[in-house]
Amino acid sequence: MKIAIGSDHRGYDAKQQIKAIVAQLGHECVDFGTDGAHPVDYPDLAYIVAKAVSEHQADRAILICATGLGMSIAANKVRGIRAALCHDELTARISRDHNDTNILCLSGDQIGEVLLRKIVEAWLTTEFSGGRHQRRVSKICAIEEGRDPRELDNASC
């Protein structure tokens, strides 16, 4: 898979670790920045990375800021993005299995190197299970389109 990655200055060190993990797992990693510890605004990075995923220039993406919250909020504003802030392996796995997330958001300040590896590995190796979860993901797509999800029976994205 082609994995886009981006961080603000607070997520830069974690981003460097994640790039190595992604490569070790056999995926291509495309770094959208930032390139150091100088302050940058996380919405700028979230936007360009999320656009790369929504426009199929990357299969999935990983975004990192101090808490992961800002990246998650900003990325989810881009049509077609399902970004999840994950703090452990379970939330990473479920975000893929149940929600078919295409962007993983992480905290650069709150997650150590060992847990970071476990989260990234779980997220990259878990597939979407579909089934009853597809109906729910389709309803998320309906909301994104401004429709009432309660009016859908078997909607799809």
Question: Domain containing 97 — which CATH number?
Answer: 3.40.1400.10
Q: Are residue 115 and residue 38 in the same domain, yes or no?
A: yes
Out of 87, 98, 133, 157, pick the active-site residue.
98
Number of separate domains in the chain? 2
Phi-psi region of 142 (alpha: psi -120 to 50; beta: other; left: phi over 0): alpha
Q: Are residue 25 and residue 6 in the same domain, yes or no?
A: yes
Q: Are residue 75 and residue 115 in the same domain, yes or no?
A: yes
Q: Are residue 139 and residue 121 in the same domain, yes or no?
A: no
Q: Are residue 151 and residue 118 in the same domain, yes or no?
A: no
Residue 56 designated active-site: no
Q: Are residue 56 and residue 120 in the same domain, yes or no?
A: yes
For the cut 70, the answer to whether the pLDDT of residue 156 exceeds it is no
45 is in which domain, residue-wise? 2-126
Residue 86 designated active-site: no
Structure tokens at 75: 């990325």
Is residue 153 very low, low, confident or very high in pLDDT (cuts 50, 70, 90)? low
Q: Are residue 72 and residue 142 in the same domain, yes or no?
A: no
pLDDT tens for each residue of 78-107: 999 999 999 999 999 999 999 999 999 999
Q: Are residue 138 and residue 104 in the same domain, yes or no?
A: no
Out of 29, 38, 56, 65, pick the active-site residue.
65
Query: What is the C-alpha to C-alpha distance for residues 77 and 90, in angstroms, rounded to an integer?
Result: 25
